[in-house]
Structure formats: C-alpha cells, structure tokens
C-alpha cells in the first residue's frame, strides 16, 4: 500500500524509531520510492535518519545517500565510519560514489577506496577523482555497454549480458576499436535482429554525438538539450571512450544552474540556502544592495538639477516613480531573455540586426499601448493636457530606451567577460533611472517652456 508522506506519518515514524519498531518502518517504506524515503529523512534528526538507514537494505540505502542534498549528506556521513561508507559506495554507480568521496576528508577518502570489494569499481573511482566536478569528466560514470568493431553478434550479446550486471540503465551500445576509440553505436534491436555470425562493423552506425572530458558542465547540458539525448559518451582528446553521462546527472546540473541564475538575477552573488548562517546570507545579498543604493543616490542627486522646475510645477514630481519603475521593469524583462539566450550558448552576434529589429518592434507596440493608457488616465484625473502629454511622451521614450538598454547591456557585458546575470540588473536599473529622468524633465522643460 502506497504511504502518503504527511505530518502525521512523520510523527508515526518518529514514534516507531523511539520504540525501535522495525516492522512498522520496513513495512511502510517497502513500497516507497527512494526519493520519498529521502523526503522523510529530511524531517528527522541525524540519529533518527541513521537508524532508518541502518535497517534498510544496503542497495536501497545507497540510492537514498545518492539522493540526499550535499550539505545534509556531508553532515550525516560525519557519524559514519569508513567501513560503513564503503558498504554503500560499493553499491553505487562510480559517478555517485565520487560525489560522496569528494565531500570527505582525504584520509576518509583513501580509507574508503582501500575498503572497496570490487577492484574494477575502485579503479573507476580513482580514475574519476582526477577530474574537476564541473566538467564532463566529473559528471560521467564509468559504467557503460561497449562492443568491439570486429566482434560478431553472438559475442556482443554475451558481452552485453555480462556488462549489464553492473549497468542499471543503458540506452545504447557503443562501438569501439582495439584501442577503445569510439567509432559509433549500435542499437540492441539491431543486434537482436541480426544473424549470429554478422560482424558489428556491418551493422553499426557512425552517427554518435560525444563530448570531450574537459568540456564544462554547461556545455554538456547544452549539447544534451540540443540533441535531446538521454545519455552521451565521454571521450578523451584522442577519441578514446572513457564513460558516459546520463540524463539524471544533467537534470541535477540544470537545477543547480537554474537556482544559481535565479539568485544572480535577484542580486545574490553566492550560492546560499535558507539554513546557511546569517553572515553568509548577508554577504551574498549585500554587495548588489549597496550598488543599487548608490544608483538610487545618484538618481536623487540627479533630480537636484531640476529642483527649480519641480518648484514651479510640483505635479511633475508625482510621476517620477512611474517613469523609473516602468523603465526598470522593461529593462529587466528585455535583459532576462538575452541572458537566457547567452546562458544556453546560442549564437547571438550572427543575427544581431534581426534581433534588434524584433526588440524595436516589440518596444514600439508596448510603448504605444502604455503611453496611451497613461495619457488617458492622467488627463482623466489631473485635467491637465500638457502634463498628460509630458508623462505620456516621456513614458514612450523611456520604454523604447529601456528595451534597447536591456538588450544590448547583457551582450556588451558578456563580450567583456562579465557575468551578465550578476551585473546587468544594477547597470540597467541605474542607467534607466538617470536617462529616464533626463528624458522626463527635458520634455517637461520643453513643453512647459520652463
């Protein structure tokens, strides 16, 4: 029976742990997916979670450890001996095992590797530890299915059966030569439908997309998204097949990148979480708040140049927030689309004229609608046609300018090697405020003959 994870169930689990009721815990968790058990563990303290992990089968425990959030898992494993960690690492894919070992001290890492029963697993883990975590080599697993170009179908099927014991999921069979150079792939269906004495070289396809081990993880994500791949083979600079990256690992990277982009766009300069220290969270938020404050002070100082105009016509000051807020919103909207395109490694500068033309047309449509609405509302409530025209014309101009600024600013920042996700917001907001106020008061000065 499927158990629903509710507050009531969590309380029942806590009570069962207190009275050491293994039958209840094993019975209710028997039908649970490992990810659901992980959710339950998040609600328990370290000792309670440890008790559950100890009574569960080791295979299930290894999956749960792989699913745990890095920070929680690291804290959790502090209470484990090297022998206990090795028991779970033995049952994991090599990439998941390396993720866990990278979180441990050098001593613990070496002790765990020495305790691994499977020599092939230990060799794979040692090989993967050489790669940085944020490159293709750091994402790949060594477990895969490969066959030799010169083998016959019967030999291939026997080898697939042997290799499949250590590969939980495989999407394709890779074809290599005697030096392990990746040549192509062959589908299991084609192997099953071919005669036993058919050679692989007669039925395999050279149409295989691979990625070098040194490539950045963002490029791995881009390639797998572009070609809609469930797995991608990883090769070295000579083309030798090293391992493969599966879609579940790429989804994790995509989630991390999306979270980081969201934080950067909101002015958080570090990867922080709710349970981090007050100092760390403040340090991540403060720099860009200070930059925004400086921009606001500059805008306030800038308004001082028009103090005489405001004194003659105080109503003009009422619409300053409308001008600055609209300009900021339009600029951020435009920049968000460009930043998303830049982050996906799409080619931007080859069709720059086409992009700017589209931005211009969208800006004209939005500016016309907004300015006409403001013209009508302002005249309805203020009964001052000149003031209504000032606000309307200024707003039209600001929307056009902000659209242009929001488009070109991220592209310029990216060209100079500055992360546009971090810097675009403050740049665009400050520039739009200053230029928007200049346009607004300039039009007011002109129409009112101040």
259 contacts: CB under 8 Å, gap ≥ 6: 271
CATH 1.25.60.10 range(s) for the chain read: 7-134
What is the fold, at CATH topology level, of the domain defined by 146-255?
A: CBS-domain (3.10.580)
pLDDT at 274 over 60: no
Query: Side-chain half-sphere of 323: how many Cα atoms within 13 Å?
Result: 32
* Range 278-447 classified under CATH 1.10.357.10: no
pLDDT per residue as tens digits for the range 126-148: 999 989 888 999 999 998 999 99
pLDDT per residue as tens digits for the range 189-233: 899 899 999 999 999 999 999 999 999 998 998 899 888 898 999
pLDDT at 280 over 70: no
**What's the angle, vertex CA 347, arms to CA 342 and CA 351, rounded to 5?**
115
pTM of the model: 0.65
Average of per-residue pLDDT across 111-124: 88
Predicted pLDDT of residue 362: 85
- With cut-offs at 50, 70 and 90, classify the pLDDT of residue 343: low
CATH 3.10.580.10 range(s) for the chain read: 146-255
| For the ranges 96-100, 276-280, 438-442, the one whose mean pLDDT is highest | 96-100
103: phi then psi, degrees, rounded to nearest 5: -85, -10
pLDDT per residue as tens digits for the range 317-330: 788 888 888 887 88
pLDDT at 421 over 70: no
- With cut-offs at 50, 70 and 90, classify the pLDDT of residue 347: very low
**What's the angle, vertex CA 99, arms to CA 279 and CA 163, rounded to 5?**
165
**Residue 216 in 3-state DSSP?**
strand
195: phi then psi, degrees, rounded to nearest 5: -70, 155
- With cut-offs at 50, 70 and 90, classify the pLDDT of residue 265: low
Average of per-residue pLDDT across 380-389: 84
Predicted pLDDT of residue 211: 96
What is the fold, at CATH topology level, of the domain defined by 7-134?
A: MgtE N-terminal fold (1.25.60)
**147 contacts 186 by C-beta, under 8 angstroms:** yes
- With cut-offs at 50, 70 and 90, classify the pLDDT of residue 385: confident
Average of per-residue pLDDT across 374-395: 86
Predicted pLDDT of residue 276: 60
CATH 1.10.357.20 range(s) for the chain read: 278-447
């Amino acid at each position: 029976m499927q158990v629903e994870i509710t507050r009531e169930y969590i309380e029942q689990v806590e009570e069962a742990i207190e009275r050491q009721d293994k039958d209840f815990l094993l019975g209710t968790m028997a039908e649970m997916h490992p990810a659901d058990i992980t959710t339950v563990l998040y609600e328990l303290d370290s000792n309670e979670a440890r008790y559950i992990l100890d009574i569960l089968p080791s295979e299930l425990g290894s999956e749960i450890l792989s699913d745990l959030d890095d920070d929680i898992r690291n804290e959790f494993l502090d209470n484990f001996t090297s022998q206990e960690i090795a028991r779970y690492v033995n049952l994991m894919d090599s990439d998941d095992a390396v993720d866990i070992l990278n979180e441990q001290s050098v001593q613990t890492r070496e002790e765990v590797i020495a305790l691994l029963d499977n020599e092939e697993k230990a060799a794979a883990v040692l090989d993967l530890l050489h790669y940085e975590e944020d490159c293709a080599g750091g994402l790949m697993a060594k477990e895969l299915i490969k066959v030799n170009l010169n083998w016959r179908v019967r030999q291939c099927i026997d080898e697939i059966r042997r290799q499949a014991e250590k590969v939980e999921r495989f999407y394709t069979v890779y074809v290599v030569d005697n030096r392990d150079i990746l040549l192509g792939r062959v589908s299991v269906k084609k192997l099953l439908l071919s005669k036993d004495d058919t050679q692989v070289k007669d039925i395999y396809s050279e149409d295989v997309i691979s990625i070098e081990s040194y490539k950045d993880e963002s490029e791995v994500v881009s390639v797998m998204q572009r070609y809609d791949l469930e797995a991608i083979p990883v090769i070295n600079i000579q083309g030798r097949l090293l391992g493969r990256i599966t879609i579940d690992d790429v989804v994790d990277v995509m989630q991390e990148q999306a979270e980081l982009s969201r934080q950067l766009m909101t002015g958080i300069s570090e990867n922080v979480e709710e349970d981090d220290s007050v100092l760390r969270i403040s340090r991540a938020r403060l720099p860009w708040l200070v930059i925004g404050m400086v921009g606001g002070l500059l805008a306030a100082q800038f308004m001082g140049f028009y103090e005489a105009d405001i004194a003659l016509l105080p109503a003009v000051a009422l619409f300053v927030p409308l001008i600055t807020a609209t300009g900021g919103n339009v600029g951020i909207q435009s920049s968000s689309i460009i930043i998303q395109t830049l982050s996906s490694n799409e080619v931007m500068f080859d069709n720059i004229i086409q992009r700017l033309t589209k931005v211009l047309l969208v800006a004209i449509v939005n500016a016309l609608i907004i300015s006409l609405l403001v013209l009508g509302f302002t005249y309805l409530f203020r009964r001052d046609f000149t003031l209504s025209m000032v606000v309307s014309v200024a707003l039209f101009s600001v929307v056009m300018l902000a659209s242009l600024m929001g488009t070109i600013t991220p592209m310029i920042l990216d060209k100079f090697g500055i992360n546009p996700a971090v810097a675009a917001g403050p740049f665009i907001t400050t520039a739009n405020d200053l230029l928007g106020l200049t346009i607004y008061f300039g039009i007011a000065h002109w129409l009112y003959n101040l």
